[in-house]
Amino acid sequence: MTKISASQVNMLRKQTGAGMMDCKKALVETGGDFDQAIDVLRKKGQKVAAKRADRETTEGVVLGAVTESGDCGVILSLNCETDFVAKNESFIGLAKSFLTIALSNKAKDIESIKALSFDTSMSIEEKLVEQTGVIGEKLELSNYHIVSADFVSTYIHPGNKLVSLVAFSNMSAGLTEKEVGKNIAMQIAAMNPVSLTESDVPQEVIDKEIEIGKDLARQEGKPEEMLEKISMGRLKKFFKENTLINQTFIKDSKKTVMQYLKECNDDWKIVEFKRVNLG
């Protein structure tokens, strides 16, 4: 039997992230051939992935990042099966690697991310399969968003479960702009707006809120002929609480988000936002 040194095992472990015993077994099986040992570990990952294909991946991390120039930002979730794995530093590091690659390539969707090279030896999709074998849980990329604008800001809530992105026009990546961007990204994370403005609210959401308003008024014993007027009043309140520019600014309750932005610079406009909450 080929003698396997501790340094060989450690080298394979560093490259694949697999456990020490798995690395040693793979090297023994392949007679110390490093490349073949990597293939053995990949095949193990494929077997584990096939067995766990129907498992739910409700845990994980969601991360966000913007380019150095500040004109593009992305949000990406890496999901797993258990909270134990989600809190592991190696798992979080893997998610950060995927995020960095997605941002640097400005990938348009998850399938595009999977096709990108993780390193010179494998794609991101292949890395997912490999790490499924290493970790022993189903891993899945989800909730990917990419936003491009004059300036993009992000906020990652502690715990890596909640991330927001907000895009602006007529803004650059200055210190003041970054502070304003962060404040509004935090607003989005905290208050979870449905849309940017009233006109952006989907019609089905509006119809639902009108019906809810009518039902509540009816339960309160209001006359049938008054239900429409009462429901429209409730709808107006809904718009104020759930459209970003009309929401009360979380750092100054005397202002709306729009008023805060105008006070900073009347030319700055919010053009888009994204929010992902895992769990």
Instruction: Please report, for the domain that includes residue 213, its CATH number.
Output: 1.10.286.20
Same domain, 106 and 129: yes
- Of 138 and 21, which is predicted with more confidence? 138
Q: Are residues 134 and 78 in the same domain?
A: yes
Q: Are residues 63 and 142 in the same domain?
A: yes
pTM score: 0.80
Task: Output the CA torsion 213→219→221→227 (10° steps).
Answer: 20
Domain of 47 in residue numbering reads as: 6-51
> What pLDDT score does 17 carry?
66
Residue found under tokens 């602006």: 168
pLDDT at 248: 97
Are 69 and 144 in the same domain? Answer: yes
Rounded percentage of the chain residues whose pLDDT exceeds 90: 63
Question: Under 8 Å CB-to-CB from 143, ≥6 apart: which residues?
Answer: 62, 75, 76, 77, 276, 278
Query: pLDDT value at position 217?
Result: 85
Whether residues 257 and 218 share a domain: the answer is: yes
Strand partners, 72: 148
Domain final position from 148, 165, 182:
148
Checking if the pLDDT of 50 tops 70, the result is no
pLDDT recorded at residue 51: 61
pLDDT 10s digits, 117-176? 999 888 999 999 888 888 888 899 999 999 999 999 999 999 999 999 999 999 988 889
Same domain, 138 and 65: yes
pLDDT of res. 46: 55
Q: Does 71 map to a domain?
A: yes
Around 122, how many Cα atoms within 13 Å sit in the side-chain half-sphere?
16
67 and 31 both lie in a single domain:
no
